[in-house]
Amino acid sequence: MNARTISIVSYITIIGWIVAYLQHKGSEQKSALASYHLGQGLGVFIFAVILNIILSIIIRVVPSLGSILSLVGFVPLILLIFGIITAANEALKPVPLIGKFFEGKFNF
């Protein structure tokens, strides 16, 4: 796989991220593009898990907010789409809202 493909696959489910990571780890030349998007993809997945835990706690406490807060659950999906578009354009731009926080946190 080339760096662009690894970058795109890193945003497609956690299994896709693992496949992209293994491909990147096994490659002879480490690409800055693939490393950057592996970190951003992992950041979005971590954010999604934390967001879902927080939302489930809030919905259990205040059930009437369930329908409104369920729409907030789509935010990670939207962030993944933005990440895929950025990776397809071979740009090193962070994912909106949370991307700056995860820049440089992971060393791939």
What does the H/E/C string look like for the chain?
A: CCHHHHHHHCCCHHHHHHHHHHHHHHCCCCCHHHHHHHHHHHHHHHHHHHHHHHHHHHHHHCHHHHHHHHHHCCHHHHHHHHHHHHHHCCCCCCCCCCHHHHCCCCCC
Q: How does pLDDT run across 31-69, given as a tens digit for each residue?
A: 889 999 999 999 999 999 999 999 999 999 988 888 888
Full-model pTM: 0.85
- State the total domains in the chain: 1
**pLDDT of 92 over the 80 cut:** yes
Position 108 in a domain:
no
Residue-range definition of the domain harbouring residue 11: 3-98
Position 105 in a domain:
no
Position 106 in a domain:
no
